[in-house]
Structure formats: structure tokens, C-alpha cells
Amino acid sequence: MSISDEFAFIKDIQPDRLFHAEKVVGIGDDAAIIGVEEGFEKIVCVDTMVEGVHFTRETMKPFDIGYKALAANISDVAAMGGYPLYYLVSITIPKSWTQEELKSIYDGMKSLGEQYEMDLIGGDTTSGKTMVLSVFVIGKVENSKRLLRSNARVGDVMFVSGTVGDAAGGLDILLHNKNADKFETLVESHQRPKPQVTLGRILSKFERVSLNDVSDGLASELLEIAEASQVDIFINKETIPISEDLQRYDADNALKWALTGGEDFELVGSIPETDWAKLEKECLIAGMKITKIGTVASGEGKAFIKSYNGAVQELKKEGYNHFNRG
Amino acid sequence: MSISDEFAFIKDIQPDRLFHAEKVVGIGDDAAIIGVEEGFEKIVCVDTMVEGVHFTRETMKPFDIGYKALAANISDVAAMGGYPLYYLVSITIPKSWTQEELKSIYDGMKSLGEQYEMDLIGGDTTSGKTMVLSVFVIGKVENSKRLLRSNARVGDVMFVSGTVGDAAGGLDILLHNKNADKFETLVESHQRPKPQVTLGRILSKFERVSLNDVSDGLASELLEIAEASQVDIFINKETIPISEDLQRYDADNALKWALTGGEDFELVGSIPETDWAKLEKECLIAGMKITKIGTVASGEGKAFIKSYNGAVQELKKEGYNHFNRG
């Protein structure tokens, strides 16, 4: 079935209830108006997924495309220590997509959005040759809580949440049709990544934290922090958290994927050494994995990886850079 | 020249100054944080332009593509009676576009944005087969000022600003390569439409106003107001403001373009009969054209056009519906 009417489609994807009904008016009007809470600042971000670049119909179901597009944005809000509140969706639709598939994309967003009580408050629907899905998220964070990349200081502990490289491993499985059923956790890491909002909230209670989400790969995120803070970062190869499944799937590529694979949506950052034990304990209580992977030294914006044998290698920005692909 | 580095490009389009420097942090971080002013609500909207659907390289220069994409969003803010403040840009770039052309797109946005002291505070850059430009705008409006489509009441005066149909006439000239130099105002209406922020601000001072911007054509906008307000709208054919240039260019199609052409970004709406004289006077003082085109009657959401000879015709939603095109 092809879409014969934009208006009918838009009606179809209208949310049937609002979590923040008292704060929103004008949905479906020229623009949405959102109320402003005292004591909070607004967080805004946008993330776009393009067919053939970020996904294909083989690697992602429509539901997952929607889920992941929203997840990437929620992850950006988490990396600022905030809560997500609202989202707007701009979708460019090729004729070959059925109305049912399009509905699934929105269902995927809805499914994740509901976990965070987020409201879909607007969007734009256009036709085009390639599916392009842009999601715009608005969140909030307490006044002056700013978990910026530029907050790293000499002596800080560098940490990362969860495990890294799983999403890249999952994509490899999907691209080469290898044992997808045996490595479901890796495939799920690629298709339905979990943004770390709870950890972001825990981190927002600390005095000073530098923070990034792992969207382009650990190496790239570390370099962004090092550059923004004008420090050097040293991480230890052996401490990088790599999952057993990823080791089992491809031990040779596991480290490479951990450093440059991206789309893990874990949080990476730094915290004063004096706060590390408290952070570790709070994560333990909340049931979240967090790992000390290195330290911050004086420098001018570089990042290095050290091996147990003492070898030191400089990390380059080899993250997910669309323009260098194919 | 093709783009070899996303990071370099992003650096190239970073704004060199901020109008709201004291209210924004984190530009270039995972997300931007914006301060919240007491007494105001936030307005959020998104508008997307797709190559081959909304423009081609023949009909629009890169500068104009950026200009128009931002203009469409500012127009949505104007239609809510607000001021635009910030914008975020998601751009999907095919390999065939040069870095110079891309820079021009951002220059076009910057040129218009500066007129309203707007800051570019974030975005996403992806590659893809078709150029897709999504712009998200955040504006503000005083608490409880809501110029919604649902505000029309029986007895109201229907009005429209400026002239309508010029943008469609301009597109016709560009598509058929006809006398572009003789009808520059029409071509400019298509390529660099002017959002009506000042008029929106004037309207926001009135007690009750229903309002839409003319993005999909007058007929479609009137129907949206009629439906949202559950009233019927009657307009008089002879009062629809059509420019002399459009009449001169194509008298036969002028009315059709005025009703269904769209992208004029004028404001159309209703106001109580008792406020009409005051509004007319304020527009006169501000040097803005506003025309009474009809009245609001009881009904269930239809719109009609009357001729001087008494003939009445129902208006249909024949606006710019991408999915019905080609």
C-alpha cells in the first residue's frame, strides 16, 4: 500500500494521550507551545538516520529504525545529565515504504518515548527518494547543571558505562548474516540501544563531570573531551569493558570496534578522583556497570591508549564519519 | 570539491558570534542548553525541504535553499504570534554538492537568522543520495498568548496579509524559464519568502485571534481554521489580494495559485468584528498590507468562496500535498 494522503497519515500517528498535557498546546497547529518550568533549563538536540547510511531494510526493522532514532537523541540528553520531555519528527518517505511500515517507525519511537513519558508534539512529512528520519528532542536539566565536554581537569578519573563495541559487533553480524540467533545481545545493541538517562541523572548530582555519549566510538568521544578541556587523556587497553559475547563473536576485532565502532550510547567522561568511589558505589546500588578506564593529564587535547607492556599509542578520530564511508 | 571531512565542515559553519550568548551553553556538545525566561512559553516547530520535491538546483540557488528553509519555520513562529530565537539544522548531503554550495546554504540561513537575532545552536550532518534540509526552530511567546487555529468564532472577520499566489507564480516562471527578469518580485516570493513576524506580534496584542501561515495555499489554511474552530468560513473572490505582477504574468491562473499555490508565508486568520478597525489601523501605521476577505459563520468546518454574481463554491484541501505530486 502506498500513501495517498499526507493528512490521513498525520492523523494516524497523532498520539492518543499526552504525558505533559497541562504544559503543551497547539500540537498540529503551525507550531507547538510548551510551558516552561522554573528552576530548569531546556536541552535541545537533533539526530538523523539515513537509509543506506545508518540502516538498511536488511539490518533494521521499521520499528527499530524509529526506536533507535529516538534513542540516539535521548542519549544526547542523558549526556547532558537531563530528562527527555518532548520530540518532533521530520520524516522523508520514499514511495516504496508502506503505510504499515511507516506506522511501525512511529510505534518504535512511541515504545521508547513512553518509557520516559515523552510526548510527540510536532513534525513534518515530506516525500523523497531516500528515507531520512530526523528526530528533534527537547529535555530539561536543573539550572546550571552542565555536564559539558570541557569539564575534564588534570587528575580526573576517566570512566565509561556498560560495555563498548557491542553495537558494531551486532552490525557486523547483520551485514554478514552470521549467527544472529547466537548473539542476540549484540544484535539488540545495534538495533535497540539503551540510552543511559538514569546514569546521567546520577552524574548530574556531582559537582563537576565531563561527559559524552558513545555515538561515534570511544576514541572519538575521548578526543572530543580532551580537545574541549585542553587536557590529554590516557586510557589502559586492558580496562576497556568488552562484553563476553563480543569476545566470543570476534576476539580479533573486539578492541577495534570498542574504540571506533560507535552507536553504543554508553556514557564516557571524567570525574574528580575524590568523587570516584562515591560514583562507583551509587552505580553499584543502581545496578549499573561503570568502569575506570584511565586518567586525565596535562596536555593540549590528545588521547592515548597504553598496553600492559608499556606501549603507548595515540588515538585518532576514527569514529563514525559518514563522509569517509563508501 | 567533495567533502572529505564532516568535522571540518561543521567547524566551518560554526557561528562566529551569538546573539543570546548569556542564555546558551554547550553548542557543539551532545546537545545545547538554553536558558528559560520567566513569563514566556517556548514555541517549537520543524520544516523540511527535499531536493526534487521542494526545490531543484535550477529553481533555487544554495543560498536561497537555506534562506527559505529557515523562513518557513520563522513563519510558523509568526503564526503563533511569537519571536524566533534559535535554530538547529539537520542536513543530508549527496556527494555531488560542493563544500562551497553547502556553505552557501548556511549563509542563506545566517542572513535571514541575523535579521531576527537568531542563533544556530546545533545540528546533525549526514550523507545520503538526496539533499534533505530539516530546520528546527525554537521561539518564544508571552505566557497564554495563543493564536491557535481553533480560535475563530461566528461573526469574525477573516483577513489575509500581503498578496497570495506570488510564490506559485514565481515557481511557474522558474520551471518554464519564462521572463524571470520581468517578474523579479514573483521569483523572489518563491525563492526568498518573507515571514510575517511583525504582523504576528501585532496580532498577539489582540484578545482573540485565529491564525495560520499560508504554507499550503489559502484554501487549505482556511479549511484548517474552519475545522479546528468548527465553523464555516465564507470568502469573497473579488477581495482576495492578488498582486498586479501576478495578474500581468498569468491572469488565467492567478486565482488558482492564490487559493492552492502555497508557500506565500503570509498570515491568514480571523479576529472579532469589533477589533477589525483597530487591526487595520495598526497595519496601516506599520506599513503592512492586510485585507478583509470574508467572514465566519456557524457550521461544521467547511469553507466557501462567493463570486460577485452570487455563485458559491466549496473550497477543497487542494494545497501542497507532496504525496499527490508525480
The pLDDT tens digits for A181-202 are: 889 999 999 999 999 999 999 9
Classify residue A325: in a domain, yes or no. Answer: no
Helix, strand or coil, per DSSP, at residue B5: coil
Q: What is the mean pLDDT of residues B54-68?
A: 94
Closest chain A C-alpha to B1 CA, distance in angstroms: 13
Q: Which of A144-148, A264-268, B61-65, B186-190 has the lowest average pLDDT?
A: A144-148
* Residue percentage of chain A with pLDDT more than 90: 77
Task: Tell me the binding residues of A.
Answer: 30, 47, 54, 76, 106, 123-124, 149, 213, 215-216, 263, 320
Is A31 in CB contact (< 8 Å) with chain B? Answer: yes
Residue A79 and residue A97 in one domain: yes
Kindly write down the DSSP assignment for every residue of B135-148, as one continuous string: EEEEEEEETT----
To the nearest 10 degrees (0 to 180), the angle between helices B62-78 and B99-115 is 30
Closest chain B C-alpha to A11 CA, distance in angstroms: 13
Task: Tell me the binding residues of A for substrate.
Answer: 54, 263, 320
Is B99 in CB contact (< 8 Å) with chain A? Answer: no
Cα–Cα distances in angstroms (integers) from residue B116 to residues A32, B20, B113, B311, in the given order:
20, 11, 5, 44
Closest chain A C-alpha to B148 CA, distance in angstroms: 7
In chain B, residues with a C-beta closer than 8 Å to the C-beta of A98 are none
The pLDDT tens digits for A78-129 are: 999 999 999 999 999 999 999 899 999 999 999 999 999 999 999 999 999 9
Residue A122 and residue A187 in one domain: no
Residue B125 and residue B175 in one domain: no
CB-closest option in A3, A46, A146 to B124: A46
Is B245 marked as binding a ligand? no
Classify residue A244: in a domain, yes or no. Answer: yes
What is the domain-level CATH number for residue B200? 3.90.650.10
Asked whether residue B249 carries a pLDDT value surpassing 60, the answer given is yes
In chain A, residues with a C-beta closer than 8 Å to the C-beta of B80 are 26, 29-31, 33
Q: What is the mean pLDDT of residues A237-243?
A: 97
Classify residue B326: in a domain, yes or no. Answer: no
Is A121 in CB contact (< 8 Å) with chain B? Answer: yes
Name which residue leads in pLDDT, A4 or A169.
Answer: A169
Confidence of residue A325 (pLDDT cuts 50, 70, 90): very low
Residue A50 and residue A116 in one domain: yes
Looking at residue B31, what is its pLDDT?
83
Q: What is the mean pLDDT of residues A69-81?
A: 96
End of a domain among A142, A173, A202? A142
* Residue percentage of chain B with pLDDT more than 70: 94
Look at strands B290-298 and B231-236 and give their pairing: antiparallel
Looking at residue A20, what is its pLDDT?
82
What is the domain-level CATH number for residue B93? 3.30.1330.10
The pLDDT tens digits for B167-207 are: 999 999 999 877 778 899 999 999 999 999 999 999 999 99
Determine which of B55, B134, B137, B224 to mutate to test the interface with A (most A C-beta atoms within 10 Å). B134
End of a domain among B142, B168, B187? B142
ipTM of the complex: 0.89
At residue A304's C-alpha, the angle toward residues A302 and A305, to 5°, is 160
Confidence of residue B7 (pLDDT cuts 50, 70, 90): low
CB contact under 8 A, A132 and B76: no
Asked whether residue A264 carries a pLDDT value surpassing 80, the answer given is yes
Residue B306 and residue B159 in one domain: yes
CA distance A241 to A174: 22
Classify residue B26: in a domain, yes or no. Answer: yes
Looking at residue A5, what is its pLDDT?
57
Classify residue A323: in a domain, yes or no. Answer: no
The pLDDT tens digits for B83-95 are: 999 999 999 999 9
> Cβ neighbours of residue A226 under 8 Å, at least 6 residues apart?
A152, A232, A233, A299, A301, A302, A303
Instruction: Please identify among residues 168-207 of chain B the ones whose CB lies closer than 8 Å to any CB of chain A.
Output: none
Name which residue leads in pLDDT, A14 or B128.
Answer: B128
| Residues paired with residue A218 on neighbouring β-strands, in sequence order | none
Looking at residue B284, what is its pLDDT?
96
Asked whether residue A133 carries a pLDDT value surpassing 70, the answer given is yes
Q: Which of A20-34, A166-180, A218-232, B177-191 has the lowest average pLDDT?
A: A20-34
Look at strands A119-127 and A83-93 and give their pairing: parallel
Asked whether residue A235 carries a pLDDT value surpassing 50, the answer given is yes
Residue B164 and residue B93 in one domain: no
Residue A102 and residue A161 in one domain: no
**Domain tally, chain B:** 2
End of a domain among A79, A114, A142? A142
The parent domain of residue A12 ranges over: 6-142
Asked whether residue B269 carries a pLDDT value surpassing 80, the answer given is yes
At residue A29's C-alpha, the angle toward residues A106 and A71, to 5°, is 30
3-state secondary structure chain A: CCCCCHHHHHHHHCCCCCCCHHHEECCCCCCEEECCCCCEEEEEEEEEEEECCCECCCCCCHHHHHHHHHHHHHHHHHCCCCEEEEEEEEEEECCCCCHHHHHHHHHHHHHHHHHCCCEEEEEEEEECCCCEEEEEEEEEEECCCCCCHHHCCCCCEEEEECCCCHHHHHHHHHHHCCCCCCCHHHHHHHHCCCCCHHHHHHHHCCCCCEEEECCCCHHHHHHHHHHHHCEEEEEEHHHCCCCHHHHHHHCCCHHHHHHHCCCCCCEEEEECHHHHHHHHHHHHHCCCCEEEEEEEEECCCCEEEECCCCCEEECCCCCCCHHHCC
Of A224, A236, A205, nearest in space to A152 by CA:
A224
Classify residue B248: in a domain, yes or no. Answer: yes
CA distance A257 to A264: 10
Residue B105 and residue B191 in one domain: no
Is B68 in CB contact (< 8 Å) with chain A? Answer: no
CA distance B136 to B18: 17
Closest chain B C-alpha to A5 CA, distance in angstroms: 6
Looking at residue A324, what is its pLDDT?
40
